[in-house]
């Protein structure tokens, strides 16, 4: 039987948004988070760890983009 890959949880650190010390719950693209959601990240364009509050902001800002991506199926 094949071995499973190690699962990394987003909760291993804090939120990547500047000035936020909440624990992270989701990981998203840093480029999308900074450009589309207008979040000021403490990291570059890598993966961004977001807390619950900032993830909700990200979801609201990218809602139409995600709907259009689903329609292309």
Q: Stretch 27-47: mean pLDDT, rounded?
A: 88
Instruction: Decide which of 29 and 72 is more confident.
Output: 29
pLDDT in tens, 7-29: 555 456 899 999 999 999 999 99
Q: Give CA 11 to chain center in angstroms.
A: 12
Q: What pLDDT, on the 0 to 100 scale, is given for residue 13?
A: 86
Spell out a b/e string for 21-48, using b for 16 or more CB atoms within 10 Å of the CB, else e: eeebbbbbebebbbeebebebeeeeeeb
DSSP state, 13? S
Contact in structure between 62 and 37 (CB atoms under 8 Å): yes
pTM of the predicted protein model: 0.76
């Amino acid at each position: 039987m094949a071995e499973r890959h190690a699962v990394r949880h987003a909760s291993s650190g804090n939120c990547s948004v500047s000035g936020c010390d909440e624990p992270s719950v989701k990981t998203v693209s840093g480029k999308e988070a900074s450009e589309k959601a207008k979040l000021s990240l403490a990291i570059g364009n890598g993966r961004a760890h977001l807390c619950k509050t900032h993830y909700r902001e990200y979801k609201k800002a990218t809602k139409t983009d995600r709907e259009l991506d689903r329609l292309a199926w």
